[in-house]
Structure 1
Amino acid sequence: MRDIALALFIFGMIPYTLMRPYVGLLVWSWLGYMNPNRLCYGFAISFPWVELVAIVTLLSLLFSKESKKIPWSTTSVLLVMFLLWTGLTTFFAVVPNSAWEKWLEFAKILVMVFVTLVLINNRERMHWLVWMIVVSLGFYGVKGGLFTILHGGGNHVFGPPASFIADNNALALALCMTLPFMRYLQLHSSRKLVRTGLGFGMLLTGIAVLGTYSRGGLIALVIVAGALFLKSRGRLAVVLVIVAVGFTAYHFMPAQWTDRMDTLHHAGQTDSGETRIQSYEFAASVAAHRPLLGGGFNVYQSASLWRSYGPEDAIPRAIHSIYFRVMGEQGFPGLVLFLMLLFVSWRNCSRVRKRTRDIPDMKWAFDLASMLQVSLVAFMAAGAFLPMSYFDLAYQVMALCAILELHMRQRASQPARELHYGSSPGAFAVSGNAQSVAGVTT
């Protein structure tokens, strides 16, 4: 039944996608983040829904009246350079078959990231993309939070099988990245019921992170909580959620959870911590011996390289750090490009915050920039302990940072006489060739 319902919904959305390609981008994001097919039991599990929607979206964009020009910026240039560089390293990869498979997967993600740069060109579309991220990943936050409460915190929370977020650690990272988007929507929703629901969603998502039993997730959750407090307006709601999640962790979670989290005090002495450190040493050694090109995607799968460059008696495993993984797989130039993407994305949001801080009708942009930064913080913090270097959400967040900054620059460059403010808070339209932006309420 689920399979049929999913198929009917997706095929039913194809006509809308053909008329409005940005609808296809939203559906693609929903499929990529929520992975609803992984909740089915029949033919829908293995059907290539994401590829189908991506192809229809690209065809729709090709024949639509939408602008097809990529808004070139530092971010878009860096994305192209990073994609080309990873392609170059793949030509010289140590594990070529696996590397090409991974590169094609990454290339598909970046193609849709560029579609995001093209199609998400006004406030309304940004708002709906944020909603899609929250609905898709928030589903697992609410579900995981309820699961943790109902089972007394005794069982681990996992993501949908065979997906980017199947692992408990990966799910924790994704949920931490989603929390600030929930807060943004809460700040800019006009309906009290929606704001209340988002507040409970944040609470349950925080509890779900606890339920993953991810130590890296706990570290990221604490950092995100602090960042939300510092960067969010109306901090009382944030404080209430932080206190409630903290109370749950201290008084509700069982002893086995506490024992696992206590190992953070001596993480290097645990089996998990030791193998992580070994993977970091392996990645650093590969980069030292192959500084320009690294070992290519999935270099950790090479048993011979582990024998040559890994610590003695090391257990081959994935490189559990976004930084060490990129360094080992893409060499030092790849690491520089990756770090520059993160830096430029942060800088874009800082510029938006500076320009909009004292403009009442641009609070939405100020808040979105702030929450994008918190999401980046979550990725950088939790990612330090996870092999999530090529997580699609991270690159779509980078794209949103660039889109928002470009939007603000275009708005600032318009003569004052060309700006016509609408009746709703934050609504404005720009005459001429500039994009029109409608006020968004929820």
Structure 2
Amino acid sequence: MIDLVLIAFVGFFLALGLKRPFIWVLAYIYIDIVAPQKIGWGPITALPLSLIAFVLAFAGWLMLDHKEGSRFTLRQGLIALLLAYCGYTTASADYPIEAMVKWDWVWKALFFAMFLPLTLRTRLRLEAAALIMVLAIATIVINGGIKTALGGGGYGTLSLLVRENAGLYEGSILSTAAIATIPLALWLARHGTVFKPDWRVWTFTAGFVFAALLIPVGTAARTGLVCAAFLAVLMLRSVRYRFVYAGLAGVALLASLPFLPQSFVERMSTITEHQGDESASTRVQVWKWTLEYAQRNPLGGGFDAYLGNSFTYQTRKLEGEPPNQRVVYAEVTDRGRAYHSSYFELLGEQGWPGLVLWFWLQALGLWHMERLRWRFRKSEAGESSWQWGLATALQQAQAVYLVGALFVGIGYQPFIFMLIGLQCGLWSYVKRTTPAAARSRMRRAGEPGIGLAEARLRSTSTTPNPLL
């Protein structure tokens, strides 16, 4: 029965694209995030839904969509270079069979991120893409949040929509993506036009934010806790009443402590003492091995080059109760352990050239969004403009991702590259709708040219934009 419902829903979604081809882009975003073909048990598991939506999205844009306003940005060029370099390292990978398995989904993630901005020609399209991303993530997050609230969960045991511990359904990756999506959800609640802001929108948003914050608890993912704390501090830059926000956040934290599972508290306590936790100790050893590997192979070893690692190390933990506690040392030998860090993942697999390209891509995103924040903060609408809000949300989401990426291998995660595609689309849209003279340099408030720019922006933002 569930297969028939999923097939009917996806089929209806794709059928809508016959009238509005851009909907195929949205369909691919939904399918790539939720993976409905993995939720069912019968016929839907044999359907290549992701490939079908991918082909329709690209063919629809190529043959049916208007190209007016589509621009190829510098960051899209960097994605193209990274894609080409990943192809080169895959061809010469240390483990060619395993590398091809990973290449099969990485190239689609990079290609779609490069392609997505070309379709985001209007504000409505930017909003629609952000909305589908939030709703798709919410499909997974709300499910996990409800189960956590009802007492389910635990490290590696939280049951989500699919029975696999990979991609967005892996605990640490889902925790990072859930926290990173919170700023986008809040932006849609404030500036959405598809669903106008009202009590229903805000109720759903509050529920989603609460569920997203529960995911690190339900998965017992230390990465999620670090990301949530980082976002809480980061949002101090953009909230209007900082002291009120800080006070409410502190009260909420204190109020939640008695309800946290003991297993979660014990696992979080290992953040500051990695030697007492085998998982954390392994990560440190893998990172050391990767640095040594990069010295011998500066151009990288291709996807899954970590399969060649092997090391022995000591763990240390306390046993017994005070005052009879004692330190127990154990020797552990491990091999073929994953990087558990996007930075080391890029370094080991793509070498220094690939890591530099990836860093350049990420740094430009933070810088471009900061320039947009600066630009629209000085405008007449100021921080209430939708452009300022979206640039802030995308910058916060990327910053959370970069923090989470320190501890989990999500260097090529499709969801994150969709965020990058949104950034490129917003940057291109603003450059197209803002006069060159007004954006040629960062102007101080009151300097000539701001009035003309704002008049153009207001006229553009108030003109109805069709979805196609």
Give the structure-2-normalised TM-score.
Answer: 0.84
Alignment of 1:287-306 (within 5 A): 287-291=294-298, 293-301=299-307, 305-306=308-309
Counterpart-to-counterpart distance in 1, 2:55 and 2:229 = 40
Give the aligned partner of residue 210 of structure 1: 217
Indicate whether 1:427 and 2:453 are aligned.
no
**Aligned pairs for 1:117-156 within 5 A:** 117-151=117-151, 156=157
For the Cα contact (< 8 Å) 2:30–2:133, is it kept in 1?
yes
Matched residue, 1:326: 346
Alpha-carbon distance in 2 for matches of 1:63, 1:48? 22
1:364 to 386, 391, 394: 386
Letter in 2 for 1:20: R
Counterparts of 1:392-431 in structure 2, within 5 Å, are 392-413=414-435, 416=452, 419=456, 421=458, 427-429=461-463
TM-superposition CA deviations, 1:114-158 (whole Å, max 9, x none): 331111121111111111111111222222222111117667435
Q: What code does the residue aligned with 2:413 have?
A: F
What is the SS of the residue equivalent to 1:390? coil
Give the partner amino acid of 1:111.
Answer: F
Match of 2:4 in 1: 4
Q: Secondary structure at the match of 2:75?
A: helix
Aligned residue in 1 for 2:99: 99
C-alpha deviation, 1:355, in angstroms: 1.0
Which residue pairs with 1:343 in the alignment?
A: 363
Q: For each residue in 1:130-187, what CA deviation from the matched residue of structure 2 results, as whole angstroms up to 9, or x when unmatched?
A: 1111111122222222211111766743543345112111111111111111111122
Residue identity matched to 1:316: G
Q: Describe the shift of the 1:93–1:66 C-alpha distance in structure 2 as closer, same or farther (beyond 3 A).
A: same
Is 1:256 the equivalent of 2:249? no
Q: Give the deviation of 1:204 after TM superposition.
A: 2.1
* 1:158/1:167 contact within 8 Å kept: no
> Following TM superposition, by how much is the alpha carbon of 1:52 offset from its aligned partner in structure 2, in angstroms?
0.9
| Partners of 2:365 and 2:420 within 8 A in 1 | yes
Counterpart secondary structure, 1:314: strand
Q: Is 2:202 aligned against 1:195?
A: yes
Give the distance between the partners of 1:69 and 1:366, measured in 2 at CA: 21
Unmatched segments (≥5 aa) in structure 1? 430-435
State the shift of 1:251 in Å: 1.3
Aligned residue identity for 1:148: T
Structure 2 unmatched runs, 5+: 314-332, 438-451
Which residue does the alignment assign to 2:188?
185
Q: Per the alignment, do residues 129 and 254 of structure 1 end up closer, same or farther by CA in structure 2, a change over 3 Å counting?
A: same
Partners of 2:434 and 2:456 within 8 A in 1: no
- TM-superposed CA distance for 1:239, in Å, is 5.7
SS in 1 for 2:168: coil
- Tell me how far apart the structure 2 counterparts of residues 399 and 74 of structure 1 sit (CA, whole Å): 12
Match of 2:229 in 1: 222
**Displacement after TM superposition at 1:360 (Å):** 4.5
Specify the alignment match of 1:390 in structure 2. Answer: 412
Aligned mates of 1:243, 1:203 — CA distance in 2? 15
State the match for 1:88 in structure 2: 88
Structure number with bigger Rg: 2
Q: What SS does structure 2 have at the residue aligned with 1:359?
A: coil
Provide the rounded CA distance (Å) in 2 between the counterparts of 1:399 and 1:232.
Answer: 25
Q: Which amino acid aligns with 1:168?
A: G
Aligned counterparts, 1:57-96, within 5 A: 57-67=57-67, 71-96=71-96
SS at match of 1:94: coil
Question: Given residue 44 of structure 1, which amino acid in structure 2 is its aligned partner?
Answer: I
The answer to whether the 8 A contact 1:203-1:241 is kept is no
Shift of 1:69: 8.4
Q: Residues 376 and 114 (structure 1 numbering): CA distance in 2 closer, same or farther, change over 3 Å? A: same
- Residue deviations 1:217-265 (CA, integer Å, cap 9, x gap): 1111110121123224566996688457624641101212111111112
Determine if contact 1:153/1:253 at 8 Å carries over to the other structure: no
Q: Which amino acid aligns with 1:218?
A: L
1:38-64 Cα offsets, whole Å, 9 max, x none, are 322222134211111111222222220
Moved more, 232-241 or 91-100: 232-241
The answer to whether the aligner puts 1:172 opposite 2:167 as a matched pair is no
Matched position secondary structure for 1:165: helix
Q: Distance in 1 between matches of 2:22 and 2:187?
A: 21
CA RMSD of aligned residues (A): 2.6
Paired residue for 1:378?
Answer: 400
Alignment-derived partner of residue 447 in structure 2: none
With over 3 angstroms needed to count, the CA separation of the structure-2 counterparts of 1:241 and 1:5, relative to structure 1, is farther
Report the residue type matching 1:202 in the other structure.
V
Contact 1:142 1:204 in 2 (8 A): yes
1:142–1:201 contact (8 Å) kept in structure 2? yes
Q: Bigger CA drift: 171-180 or 239-248?
A: 239-248
Q: Deviations over 1:324-363 (max 9, x none)?
A: 0100000001000011110011111011111111335471
Answer whether contact 2:113 2:421 (CA < 8 A) is retained.
Answer: yes
> CA–CA distance in 2 between the matches of 1:18 and 1:369?
32
How far residue 311 of structure 1 moved from its aligned partner, in angstroms, is 5.6
Matched residue, 2:323: none
Change (3 A) 1:68 1:24: farther
Conserved 8 A contact 2:142-2:212: yes
TM-score under structure 1 normalisation?
0.88
Q: Is the CA contact (8 Å cut-off) linking 1:172 and 1:209 kept in structure 2?
A: yes
C-alpha displacement of 1:438: 7.5
Contact 2:69 2:432 in 1 (8 A): no
Q: What letter corresponds to residue 405 of structure 2 in structure 1?
A: G
Aligned pair count reads 424
Provide closer, same or farther for how the CA distance between residues 327 and 245 of structure 1 changes in structure 2, counting only shifts above 3 A.
farther
